[in-house]
Amino acid sequence: MDGMRLILSTVAFAGMVALCVLGWDYGGVGGLIGAGIGFVLRLGGRGLDWGERLGNAYVGALMGMPVGLLLGGFFALGGPYILRAVGGAS
């Protein structure tokens, strides 16, 4: 991996972790859980050596963070709002 791609990839990962930590009350914990799940799921995948498997697991963590952040935000903010709206309708 050349230098610029490595820097971009590292900064993207660090930025997502920072976003999850800063948005902890708004579903950031979901982003970190999503990263952990993505890492574990991709770790057992294809790969000839552990370097390739760790690279796949890193990509899984990078893809799992925004999905987990989105779901965590829905459960933290959208879920209670929808429950209040449904409960108030009856």
C-beta of residue 31 within 8 angstroms of C-beta of residue 72: yes
pLDDT tens for 15-29 read: 989 988 898 888 889
pLDDT tens for 36-74 read: 999 999 888 776 788 888 888 888 998 999 999 999 989
Would 64 be classed as within a structural domain?
A: yes
Would 18 be classed as within a structural domain?
A: no
Supply the pLDDT for residue 55.
Answer: 85
Residues 6+ apart with CB under 8 A from 24: none
Residue numbers of the domain that contains 59: 25-89
Would 17 be classed as within a structural domain?
A: no
C-beta of residue 32 within 8 angstroms of C-beta of residue 20: yes
Q: Which residue, among 65, 80, 79, 81, has the nearest Cα to 30 in the 3D structure? A: 65
> Where does 1-90 show beta strands of DSSP type E?
none
Q: Is the pLDDT assigned to residue 90 strictly greater than 60? A: no
Q: Is the pLDDT assigned to residue 85 strictly greater than 80? A: yes
Domain count, the chain: 1
Would 71 be classed as within a structural domain?
A: yes
Q: Is the pLDDT assigned to residue 89 strictly greater than 70? A: no
Supply the pLDDT for residue 65.
Answer: 92
Would 4 be classed as within a structural domain?
A: no
